[in-house]
Structure 1
């Protein structure tokens, strides 16, 4: 927290900010003596955290705006020039999506690197997020920036940072960059200038890599199948994002032609006018695609989120639409990848997923003779773990997380909704040739590895203090000592906040601990595992419950009992003012109506 007087903060902002819109916002608040609003936007600084910055676009140090982008870029440029001088000359890749201000933010970012004579590979047009990590490896660059807020609402934007290995930055690099930003807050001369041609600006980066990216996606997708005949007829929606600028060309290169883009959602539009939230996970996000598919007699829908790093699909089976969850798609794609590997390839392969994703991928990998590794949540972990494994001679053909993110490292080391769509279409054709729908293939996998049912949702936490109170109550309760939680027996207790795991010989977890966050994972009898954690970016306590049973009904029953136990034994007992959604849907569509 900045200890300066409020008037000093206003003066500093107006001294540094040269954007007329955000200057006018602060001037209006000053002139109307709105001290509360000024405190909110100036007192606390937006946190440089998971892979960078993300937040609402508005004036002030707590929001996303041009000054914040300049400061972040100066700090990153200075970090690369001083801490990594041996690779600074390799340059940085800068891309952006179609959101409001994305191109302007990208241009301001470029100025900072050019000021320190660091070459900039600048995208001439908006494009998908995965093209930036792909571009880092293509150009052998020192770093990358993608200006995007992914699937956030239209008033948000963000600033995503990648390291020289093409993966999102992680510890301790993120903290070092954050400190460099704090040391570089005053805008440098020329920071606000329009981006100009010059020796250090390569403004044709997009044109240089788009053909290579599309070719690599095609090559990767077709490498997983011995012979190819398209059996797809589908509707596609990019949800007003940039996926529509790339995926149709990828489909055409695969000789996939029988598809229809949702007309009202096919072109980039930063207002996202037809959806409440431009996230294919959200209820209602695919309604227009479903309506289009029904009108056109199509039974398959594929979707990207606005920056095309996530992928989703839905299939009409027996007259009803089935929306695949991230875990469903993860095991479907994982099965296809495993089936495509030779015995030698399987012996070298390691598949990855996060601690809050389904355990089913581990069972599938080990049944085929491949290795499996669990990581913390987010692709900043999976991308870097994949790189580490490759240095030991291993291969990582596939990784995924439950939030519709899928990584194929032979293309890039981040989630990639374009490649995921291409691989899915190839896999879908294979399943159809075997007489299976994608949903039938999923049921076949459940029959082999047990029916896995998941319930991922959240409790709304009014304050970080309340979140800490909840976890303090859980840890001080009798549960770990008695090894019971309501009707369940606790088989294993892992606390990554305190660095404890009851299953290891030294009680140390095999995943990194983090005392700054709250995260517990419990394994219960009856095939149940769940994680509860405090969100780092939202006022929420998130939970992820999974049960494996002999039937769907058994698995759903266990998931529901686990949720009710968490609610009554933990949330209502230790934080009775914490709210939860009254309608929770399991992954198979079961609706649980439970008022607090």
Structure 2
């Protein structure tokens, strides 16, 4: 609920400012109170950042609806109270804390450590910026009760966030998120929360840095999770890499060197961690222009492969030569299918398992099935992929080989129970090296898979509806699908409809009830519609499948299919009353 009454807003703002520990945000909030922009004040204090399965994420600024020291301190105290009450031996098992290179991350991380230590909880932390996969791994390696990563991943520079891992060294899922949120709600003003000052952390008996041996174990376990390349396969690829001003560069270079890839070139203008992201408007490798500098370097070097991570190192982006002098960026779906087939082809597991998010390409299911692997689809988010992997490793005696989601998230094996752009990057390079040794390219492999499993194309169409009125419009559109469903989309017959809002008791826990409706299409394709969980958007995901003959031009076929997929997506939006 958003509060808009001016009297209530000013009372809330005054109470928050009185309880704030930081002079800068306290002064900024009081300046808003003295101004005449009621709408802006409402944005800052009319609601509060909601703690959920992704933790917290939002713009940095004053007030309860922004990321700031007061929010971090109260959140950490709530987390500490939850751990001490619900997790056996939490105080001695401790919490791992890490952070990225965003402007406020080090300060927020120090406050996190300070609150946990003051609560009597052992803390092992990374005093310098580190990639998220390493921090998630450290929780597992140290058998810590939880981990906290201060990061906003690939969000705009003005944002920051607070990600929590608990059971199984994976991100939290319901009902844990609600329990932590309730504990946070019970915490008083930030000023009243016990806190070890940042200057005293180095000498505090509850606080110590994560030992360097953990980093080496991480790199060694990544090596062991991948199928070994034959000794006669050359690792002489010329590879261009960009961390997009993020924090994965040092570990990537170590991981590639350990795997025998010595010709790695880091894009110099984006090599150093920098939370202002000076060369990109939006530090997301999927965004237009984000890879321009790295692509220019790849062309200059006549490189074999371009690898990119997002700023916290948990996503993998790839581009490959297109055979005509240019470069082709690969979608998350294409990366997932390529890596999944490579790893499953070469695994020695007798009962392999592959997992994807429900909105990712069903082509992966065919890849798994053809290789004797069990495949599972989960709700969106790697926390669900990790849950499915962990549970099926026990209940079905499976070996988790690979998981992915279409938004550039991949993980190889169970080293990290989350997205891991570092291990996935090296695995992709090894796949390319093996292809080259066999006289093939990545494009050749895409064609082979398309002949074997059908030529799949994936496409997204979305509409933006901001504000409360927009939320109601999207909710009404989704509600319409409870009353009636389309008979055809883009000229393709709708053969079945699956409403994920119902029937959760007939599905595994990683496919719980969610606001998602799937229309199965004639020919084996589908269209899925859902509201975005992070933006004021309604999204449609379309996946189409068509047979590929040996003499058919794949690029032309895909162009035609993408045009059809766009019509399918727009028809579905039109059907629910949302014109794109």
**Fold conserved between structures, TM > 0.5:** yes
Q: Residues 361, 226 of structure 1: CA spacing in aligned structure 2 closer, same or farther, 3 A cutoff?
A: farther
Q: Does 1:368 align with 2:371?
A: yes
Deviations 1:141-177 (A, max 9, x none): 1011111100111101111110131111001111111
- Aligned position for 1:476: 483
What is aligned with 2:493? 489
For residue 183 of structure 2, the aligned residue among 180, 184, 190 is 180
How far apart in 2 are the matches of 1:223 and 1:87?
38
Match of 1:420 among 417, 420, 424: 424
Aligned to 1:587: none
Is the 1:100–1:270 contact (alpha carbons within 8 Å) kept by the matching residues of 2?
yes
Q: Once the 2 structures are TM-superposed, how far is the Cα of residue 274 of structure 1 from its aligned partner?
A: 1.0
Partner of 1:330: 336
Q: Which residue of 2 aligns with 1:572?
A: 574
**Relative to 1, partners in 2 of residues 1:219 and 1:183: Cα closer, same or farther, differing over 3 Å?**
same
| Equivalent residue number for residue 239 of structure 2 | 234
CA contact (8 A) 2:29 2:62 kept: yes
Tell me which of 383, 386, 403 is aligned to 2:386: 383
Once residues 542 and 511 of structure 1 are traced to their aligned partners in structure 2, the CA distance between those partners, rounded to angstroms, is 23
* 1:227–1:159 Cα change, 3 Å: farther
1:125·1:206 contact (CA, 8 Å) conserved in 2? no
Q: Shift of residue 518 of structure 1?
A: 2.4
The 8 Å contact of residues 64 and 158 in structure 1, kept in 2 or not, is answered as: yes
Aligned length: 564
Aligned residue for 1:278, secondary structure, equals coil
2:96 counterpart of 1:93: yes
Name the CA shift for 1:173/1:189 in 2 (closer, same or farther; >3 Å).
Answer: closer
Distance 1:190 1:341, change over 3 A: same
Match of 2:214 in 1: 209
**2:259 corresponds to which residue?**
254
* 1:584 alignment counterpart: none
Secondary structure (helix, strand or coil) at the match of 1:130 reads: helix
Cα RMSD over matched residues?
2.1
Which residue matches 1:410?
414
Aligned equivalents of 2:511 and 2:445: distance in 1?
A: 37
Contact 1:454/1:544 (<8 A) preserved: yes
1:430 aligns with 2:434: yes
Counterpart in 2 of 1:526? Answer: 523
341 and 73 in structure 1: CA distance in 2 versus 1, 3 angstrom threshold = same
Q: Could you say which residue in structure 1 is the equivalent of 2:543?
A: 546
SS in 2 for 1:89: helix
Q: Which residue of 2 aligns with 1:589?
A: none
| Alpha carbons of structure 1 residues 222 and 228: separation in structure 2 relative to 1, 3 Å | farther
2: CA distance between counterparts of 1:142 and 1:33? 46
How much does 1:84 deviate? Answer: 1.7
Are the structure 2 counterparts of residues 396 and 112 from structure 1 closer, same or farther at C-alpha, using a change threshold of 3 Å? same
Is this contact kept in 1: 2:148–2:163, CA < 8 A? Answer: yes
Aligned with 2:40: secondary structure? Answer: helix
Q: Comparing 543-552 with 431-440, which one deviates more in the overlay?
A: 543-552
Task: State the shift of 1:199 in Å.
Answer: 5.2
TM-score w.r.t. the length of structure 1 is: 0.90
2:270 touches 2:279 (CA, 8 Å); kept in 1? yes
Give how far 1:227 is off: 5.6
CA contact (8 A) 2:137 2:415 kept: yes
What's the CA shift for 1:419? 0.3
Matches within 5 A, 1:134-149: 134-149=137-152
- Alpha-carbon distance in structure 1 between the residues aligned to 2:519 and 2:511: 16
Shift in CA distance, 398/486, structure 1 to aligned 2, threshold 3 Å? closer
- In the alignment, which of 450, 457, 461 is matched to residue 454 of structure 2? 450
Measured after TM superposition, the shift of residue 381 of structure 1 is 0.1
2:474 paired residue number: 467
In 2, Cα distance between the equivalents of 1:124 and 1:201? Answer: 15
1:77 positional shift:
0.5
Deviates more, 1:135-144 or 1:520-529: 520-529
What are the superposed Cα offsets for residues 204-230 of structure 1, whole Å, 9 maximum, x if unpaired? 205242122122223333546566530
Shift of residue 25, structure 1, vs aligned partner: 1.1
Query: Does the 8 Å contact 1:526/1:558 carry over to 2?
Result: no
Distance across 1 between alignment mates of 2:243 and 2:54 = 24
What is the TM-score of this pair, normalised by structure 2?
Answer: 0.92
Rounded to whole Å, the distance in 1 between the matches of 2:488 and 2:305 is 44
Residues 383/227 of structure 1: CA separation in 2 closer, same or farther (3 Å cut): farther
Counterparts of 1:514 and 1:368, CA distance in 2: 28
Asked whether the equivalents of residues 16 and 189 of structure 2 are also in contact (C-alpha less than 8 Å), the reply is: no
- Hey, what's the Cα distance between the residues in 2 that align with 1:156 and 1:546? 32
- Secondary structure (helix, strand or coil) at the match of 2:429 reads helix
Alpha-carbon distance in 1 for matches of 2:575, 2:494: 19
SS in 1 for 2:366: helix
Query: What is the 5 A alignment of 1:265-276?
Result: 265-276=270-281
Partner secondary structure for residue 216 of structure 2: helix
2:346 maps to which of 326, 336, 340:
340
User: What's 1:588 paired with?
Assistant: none
The question of 1:314 aligning with 2:319 is answered: yes
Give the C-alpha shift of residue 573 in structure 1: 5.1
The aligned counterpart of 2:11 is: 8
User: Displacement of 1:36 after TM fit?
Assistant: 2.4
Query: Does the 8 Å contact 2:344/2:352 carry over to 1?
Result: no
**For residues 140 and 123 of structure 1, what CA distance do their matches in structure 2 show?**
16
Change (3 A) 1:225 1:112: farther
Distance apart, 1:51 and its partner CA: 2.4
Give, in angstroms, the shift of residue 567 of structure 1: 2.1
Equivalent in 132, 138, 143 of residue 129 of structure 1: 132
Q: Which residue of 2 aligns with 1:112?
A: 115
Match of 1:38 in 2: 41
Instruction: Give the equivalent residue in structure 1 for 2:551.
Output: none
Q: Distance in 1 between matches of 2:460 and 2:423?
A: 25
Per-residue deviation, residues 536-561 of structure 1 (Å, max 9, x unmatched): 11111112111111244555544433
The Cα of 1:513 is off from its aligned counterpart by: 6.5
